[in-house]
Chains A and B, each alone.
Chain A
Amino acid sequence: GAVVSQHPSWVICKSGTSVKIECRSLDFQATTMFWYRQFPKQSLMLMATSNEGSKATYEQGVEKDKFLINHASLTLSTLTVTSAHPEDSSFYICSARTSGSPEQYFGPGTRLTVT
């Protein structure tokens, strides 16, 4: 149980285009989802926290107009990287948790390369 999927697992896009990444909780209802970014040989950095039906809360330094997060249902959150640039190339990981539980379940990650 407690499986989180991400789609796509990897994507290559051209600079200036937008990319959408999906995060789904397959067998539980995720009241909260988190989006992390990980650059090579670095740690995971939280980008934003999203609660179902509410606007996402972004961490300091993360551009909310560039990284659009939607958490429209209890099983799906999306991250859209708008007008992507090469410096946005990174490994994006989502996680999900249910209300009241300290446990977070991580997706397998999406590797984004912007050319």
Chain B
Amino acid sequence: AQKVTQAQTEISVVEKEDVTLDCVYETRDTTYYLFWYKQPPSGELVFLIRRNSFDEQNEISGRYSWNFQKSTSSFNFTITASQVVDSAVYFCALSGQGNTGKLIFGQGTTLQVKP
């Protein structure tokens, strides 16, 4: 069975603080994809990143960075110097090779960045 766990339900930080959102996944597939999405109050999902299981390089995009570690089945997301506009719900998701591409979402982490 495939599963994604985001243990942090809610996180509150003050602007300019760094914050890391945790994601742990379970799958028996050897080929799979991991995703992060942002869901602002409007509800529309915003794609942030996709990683395939063969690429463990960490990625940085502006203030965002991702740490993918297969050894611990984790795909954590860090926002550096957080801003109020980062306030949203963040979802980690998994897509395996044998499941026709459907996404398994974690429970989501609500991030509140206070000014």
- A103 engages B50 (CB within 8 Å): yes
Total interface residues in chain B, CB < 8 Å: 20
Instruction: Say whether A106 faces chain B, with CB atoms less than 8 Å apart.
Output: yes
Instruction: Say whether A108 faces chain B, with CB atoms less than 8 Å apart.
Output: yes
B 87-111 binary contact with A (CB < 8 Å = 1; else 0): 0000100010000111111111000
Q: Which residues of B contact A46 (CB under 8 A)?
A: 102-104
Shortest Cβ gap from B34 to chain A (Å):
10
Q: A43-B108, A44-B91, A46-B102 are in contact. Are A106 and B45 (CB under 8 A)?
A: yes
Q: Which residues of B contact A95 (CB under 8 A)?
A: 103
Shortest Cβ gap from B67 to chain A (Å):
20
Main secondary structure of the interface of A (DSSP, over half): strand
Instruction: Say whether A32 faces chain B, with CB atoms less than 8 Å apart.
Output: yes
| Contact pick for A109, options B44, B52, B103, CB 8 Å | B44
A 8-21 binary contact with B (CB < 8 Å = 1; else 0): 00000000000000
Instruction: Say whether A97 faces chain B, with CB atoms less than 8 Å apart.
Output: yes
- B105 engages A93 (CB within 8 Å): no
With A and B bound together, what is the CA distance between A42 and B108 in angstroms?
8
- B44 engages A49 (CB within 8 Å): no
- B105 engages A43 (CB within 8 Å): yes
- A106 engages B44 (CB within 8 Å): yes
- B102 engages A49 (CB within 8 Å): yes
